[in-house]
Amino acid sequence: MLDLPIHLDGAIRNQGRQVHAALRAAIVDGLLAPGLTLPSSRDLAAQLGVRRNAIVAAYEHLASDGLIEARHGAGTTVAERLPEPTPPAPAAAPRLAHAPVRARPFLLGQTGTDARLLRRLGGLVRRRIAGATADELGYGDPRGSAHLRAQVAAYLAANRGVRCDPECIAIVSGTQAAIRLCADALLPPGSRVWMEDPGYYATQATLRAAGLRLAPVPVDDAGLDVAAGARRAAGAKAVYVTPSHQFPTGVILAMRRRIELLDWARDSGAWIFEDDYDSEFRYAGPPLTALAGLGSGRVIYIGTFTKTLFASLRLAYVVLPPDVVGRVVAARAAHDRFPARFLQDAVADLIADGTLAAHVRRMRARYREARDATAAALRESAGDALRFTVPEQGLHLLALLPEGVSRATALAIRDAAEVEVRLLSDTQLTPRGPEGFILGFSGFESAALAAAARRIGRAAREIAGGAAQRSPTARRRVRHPTVPLE
């Protein structure tokens, strides 16, 4: 009797399934050769110590899989034609490049929340699920929840000057999802796209992954330099811009530049991707009017709940010009349709009952306090080693090192200070001017931020001071054209 090299998995409770799984693995892995005659059900049951009917059930299952063949008078054999054996698994899974980083002070993308908001959101989700209709349990409109789209439209009209039909809004799982969706639907592969320089590193990666070519356009104290973009890449099909609070410099796109940009897009038939990522957190006056609020049909406006609520919610929205809604929605239906319907409707309820607005007011006060604590500690500890302007909007602060300090020195400062912080050079397509740190101050306690700011300030003074003095460019104090300085 053939002794089969198989072992039953005790975690599988049914004997027939145990035998099926063991034989299947042995056949697929090449341990049992094609054409091999298998023992009779009686003999294999005795060998494995299981009931005979378990072997019969396993053989029937394997025959249905096409892995064995039962021939009259010839017994049961392994099938003659089988897939190539599965290669052995690696000893350990490869380490992913995007492994989570430690949530230490100055890490970007962190948000604050509180128990009352989470309780309210949880209650709304449960209520939505318990009372769901047949339509709400189905696939639904690929644009997403009509309730949430209506609430977003009302919010944008009242707060951002964007008047739009809810039918022209699509709910997506994040800003980058919106950009990729629109790029796939509207831009031929290989198209050139203006990219703010410096600009948001995640969008740079998204546009490249979509097969698009980035055309760096410099940013100065008035925002994106439209004239420079027209000189460098007149035939570009789109532009990515953060006009209300440029990332990472924090400058606001001047009105003359806004008009120039709208005129360029209209005349060239290009699309403007407006990323309005943190407009809710303005500390001096009401939110600024969005670029899309100026009435152009070439602007694709993108907003997100990542900053107002939290990142793992995976909810954002895109406002589309009416004439491209059909194209984008068709592409959307072929992608992922939309995030979870119940979460969408629950967030819409948060907006409708005023809970979200109250939460934003609380967080705005908390973030202002965090900003001020960070700035005060930097002034106290860094001396001339870091230059910055306290931002009037947003959730990060850009601090510049002296001219001539290298990226390697900046990394040494970051490591010495034990903080998670992005470097200015991470955002630059064409590196120029001084290096600097992009310090996120949301989602952390003010005391922890102040302590971290003192560490990075002292490290900058001790490490960058000597490096700048040794640099041949140290004596030339050059104002970086992309950032406002104190």
- Topology at the third CATH level for domain 364-470: Aspartate Aminotransferase, domain 1 (3.90.1150)
Q: What is the pLDDT of residues 75-108, one digit of tens each?
A: 889 898 887 776 665 566 666 565 566 788 999 9
CB–CB of 357/281 below 8 Å?
no
140 or 421, which is more confident? 421
Angle between helices 341-352 and 355-382 in degrees, nearest 10: 90
Q: Which pLDDT belongs to residue 339?
A: 83
Q: Taking phi first (over 0 means left), then psi (-120 to 50 degrees means alpha), and beta for anything else, what does residue 86 get?
A: beta
Position 113 pLDDT exceeds 90 = no
- Our measurement of the distance from residue 234's CA atom to the centroid of its chain's CA atoms, rounded to an integer in Å, reads 30
Q: What is the pLDDT of residues 296-319, one digit of tens each?
A: 799 999 999 999 999 889 999 999
Domains 15-78 and 364-470 share a fold: no
Average pLDDT, the chain: 89
Q: What is the pLDDT of residues 198-207, one digit of tens each?
A: 999 999 999 9
Q: Which residues, at least 6 apart from 110, have a Cβ–Cβ distance to it below 8 Å?
A: 103, 440, 442, 443, 444
Q: At which residue do the structure tokens 């003659």 appear?
A: 80
33 or 214, which is more confident? 214
Instruction: Flag the least confident range among 65-74, 163-172, 223-232.
Output: 65-74
Q: Which pLDDT belongs to residue 462?
A: 92
d(CA 486, CA 484): 7
Q: Is 295 exposed, middle or buried (0-12, 13-18, 19+ CB in 10 A)?
A: exposed
Q: Which pLDDT belongs to residue 482?
A: 39
Name the residue ranges covered by the structural domains of the chain: 15-78, 139-353, 364-470
Q: Which residues, at least 6 apart from 250, have a Cβ–Cβ distance to it below 8 Å?
A: 389, 391, 393, 394, 396, 397, 398, 483, 484
- Topology at the third CATH level for domain 139-353: Aspartate Aminotransferase; domain 2 (3.40.640)
Confidence of residue 184 (pLDDT cuts 50, 70, 90): very high
- Our measurement of the distance from residue 82's CA atom to the centroid of its chain's CA atoms, rounded to an integer in Å, reads 42
Q: Which pLDDT belongs to residue 103?
A: 80
Position 18 pLDDT exceeds 50 = yes
Instruction: Flag the least confident range among 51-65, 83-97, 370-384.
Output: 83-97
- Topology at the third CATH level for domain 15-78: Arc Repressor Mutant, subunit A (1.10.10)
Q: Which pLDDT belongs to residue 432?
A: 86
Position 186 pLDDT exceeds 50 = yes
